[in-house]
Structure 1
Amino acid sequence: MSEKRKIKLGISIGDFNGIGCEVALKTFEDPRMMDFCTPVFFASNKMISQQKSDLGINISFNGIRNASQAIDGKINVVNVWKETPKVEFGKVTEESGKYAIKSLRAAVSALKNDEINVLVTAPINKNNIQADDFKFPGHTDYLAQELDGESLMFMVADTLRVGLLTDHIAVKSVAEAITPKLIEKKVEIMEKSLKMDFKIRRPKIALLGINPHSGDNGTIGEEDEKILKPTIQKLFDNGTLVYGPYSADSFFGSGSHKSFDAVLAAYHDQGLIPFKTLSFGKGVNFTAGLVKVRTSPDHGTAYEIAGEGNADESSFKEAVFTAIRVFKNREEHFELNKNPLQKQKVKRAG
């Protein structure tokens, strides 16, 4: 990418009855953000005008037909629809789900066609997005289908990085879903992402146990002894610095996570509860393993405060910065791997 051309950062607006538009628009209310990227919203002029008016957000924007027309130094809005859907802050409606998907589909299409470089997704509601042609529990599963690669839900906040072996599945299904093949795949995605996206040369990964106290040597469930331990040993013997399984109840509280570059949790809440507790509202959900970069804030639609103008944009802003950093790190990674001589120079300089 030319140094003069800023990264085009696409934004799907999520559920417009929630806080997605608010935190996204507030992020770019600060004109200094234009120094880092060119924002491209996928919605409509009328929708963005209504949101900024209702929420008292002071921005101006440039309406365009497609993302390739985006102008650096301006907030750009691709007009995905012409009609004016009804906004009902704080309510779960079929209409808001329908338009959340329209925005997402348009943004992903632009990403696939290289009209934007990265994508930041505002929060959706997993219930009202369901339709005959959209049966996904969330963004991650849809993106995994649309973009090449196998995905990993990877929560990041500075040096705290937590990935998930299983994400949006019922707790009762976790143990049977975790197989040696799944563990090997997720560890491989995580290790590759740490090297390519976060510039960590020899990443150390911790794996959390499935059962309390990692099964207490088979006393509390046999999955940790029979599945996790031998798979971890196999990966380690093959050169991957992966350790565990560690008892999840004390791992973060004791500060053990600080000894690793990333942690792989067995299931959703095992990883996200400590992550969100420690990240203080500035965490980012990054979809690792795909050929394109996608991030999102680590919170939901927050209907309870929607329309009040009080939503905190910190997590969304961090999602923007993370997407930009990962994109640049990948460019550098691919450039170094194309030029072995340059790679040697970098090693010597380090």
Structure 2
Amino acid sequence: MKKEENVIVGISIGDLNGIGGEVVLKTLEDSRTLEFFTPVIFASVKTISFLKNHFNFNVSFNGINKLTDIVHGKINVFNAWHDKVDINFGEENPKMGELAIKSLEEATKALKSDAIDVLVTAPINKHNIQSDKFKFPGHTDFLNKELEGESLMFMVSNGLKVGLLTDHVPVKDISKNITKALIDKKINTVYSTLQMDFNIRRPKIAVLGINPHTGDNGVIGKEDDTVLRPALKELVDSGKLVYGPYAADSFFGSGNYKNFDAIIAAYHDQGLIPFKTLSFGKGVNYTAGLSKIRTSPDHGTAYEIAGKGEANESSFREAIYLAIKLYRNRLENSILNENPLKKGQKKI
């Protein structure tokens, strides 16, 4: 098995006018982190030098033009571009969106070729990344295409894991997007993720209702009764420990979430508002269901504090540590699954 300190963590730099570069270098400024993994930042030496000097970070790095030149025990900076970049913190700029996608594309290419082991993405601006060449709402949809998976936004913190049936969908379109096929796909993805990536052999999953009070027997909406409950019953009949639907308004406040390995919310804010309230800035966004590991912090570009040295790097640090943990879990499970002794076969 690969040693933990040799896990290569690729980092896409995100929107350079936001706080991404700051939280990346703040995390890596603690030289002890290099004992646990080898970082590769996809940006440019000129760009990282500017950030280092602006924030007066005590870091040194190894500039590379080829991924075969990665040095363990160093902060590696892969030159995804060479031109000088004018960074204006707090400003939304299409050029920054273009560079954010260039960084993401180079990092994804490296991930697909196994030049890096995991990918951690700094925040992007979903508006300024749009172009004729890039028409994805964000990281997740792009990576789902590139890594040919069944992606699911899975928010993870200590003692709380929240997945979504629908993620970046307008509120008016939520109910029509929730179908039996979608429910089956998302819950099965969460189930296998808990087993393979988190080593939970018999996961318990709670599902939140679509409507207030799960529809109150059809008075406040029929989708919980006509779509959600029948789909959950089939999953239960298949042997999975799936419970619900639960009324979302009291589920977290009552502490009921502590009784489950994961919670599935019907839509974005239903799951992410309580998650971010309870995780206190240490949550991680994990893209479950892909062939490779990708994590990110649970915050955005935060233009309002960009460049001021005020950004908290806790979530980004947790994103790196979770990526390493999940990578090692997957590696260990793949070895166990290939071991004939684990499949009840006799030793030859």
Offset of residue 225 of structure 1: 0.4
Deviation (angstroms), 1:68: 2.7
Distance 1:66 1:112 in 2: 15
Residues of 2 paired with 1:5 and 1:325: CA distance?
12
Other-structure match for 2:120:
120
For the pair 1:219 / 2:219, whether they are aligned, the reply is yes
C-alpha distance in structure 1 between counterparts of 2:267 and 2:52, whole Å:
38
Q: Are the counterparts in 1 of residues 4 and 37 from structure 2 also a CA contact under 8 Å?
A: no
Superposed CA RMSD:
1.3
| Gap change, CA 1:25 and 1:5, over 3 Å in 2 | closer
- Cα deviation digits, residues 270-320 of structure 1 (max 9, x gap): 000000000010000000000000000000000000000111100000000
Cross-structure match for 2:266: 266
Q: Say whether residues 1:74 and 2:66 are aligned partners.
A: no
Deviation, 1:149, is 1.4
**Alpha-carbon deviations, 1:245-285, whole Å to 9, x = none?**
00000000000101100000000000000000000100000
- Which string of whole-angstrom CA distances, capped at 9 and with x for unpartnered residues, describes residues 26-75 of structure 1? 10100111111000000000000001111121100000012232111100
Check whether the contact 1:285–1:298 (CA below 8 A) recurs between aligned residues: yes
**Amino acid in the other structure paired with 2:77:** V
The residue that corresponds to 1:347 in the other structure is: none
Residues 230 and 183 of structure 1: CA distance in aligned 2, closer, same or farther (over 3 Å) = same
Measured after TM superposition, the shift of residue 162 of structure 1 is 0.1
Q: For residue 289 of structure 2, give the secondary structure of its aligned residue in structure 1.
A: strand
Change in Cα spacing, 1:106 to 1:131, as seen in structure 2 (3 Å) is same
**Normalising by the residue count of structure 2, what TM-score does the alignment of the two structures yield?**
0.97
Correspondence for 2:108: 108
Q: Which residue of 2 aligns with 1:253?
A: 253
- SS in structure 2 at match of 1:71: coil
- Contact 1:120/1:294 (8 A) holds in 2: yes
- Find the counterpart in structure 2 of residue 233 from structure 1: 233
Name the structure 1 match of 2:46. Answer: 46
Deviation at 1:175, TM superposition (A): 0.3
Instruction: Tell me, yes or no, if the aligned pair for 1:56 and 1:309 is still in contact at 8 Å.
Output: no
How many positions carry a matched residue from both structures? 345
Q: SS of the residue aligned with 1:28?
A: helix
Which residue of structure 2 aligns with residue 301 of structure 1? 301
Q: Which SS does the other structure have where 1:166 is aligned?
A: coil
Percentage of pairs with the same residue: 62
Deviations 1:311-335 (A, max 9, x none): 1100000000000000000011111
Matched, 1:172 2:172: yes
For 1:9, the equivalent position in structure 2 comes to: 9
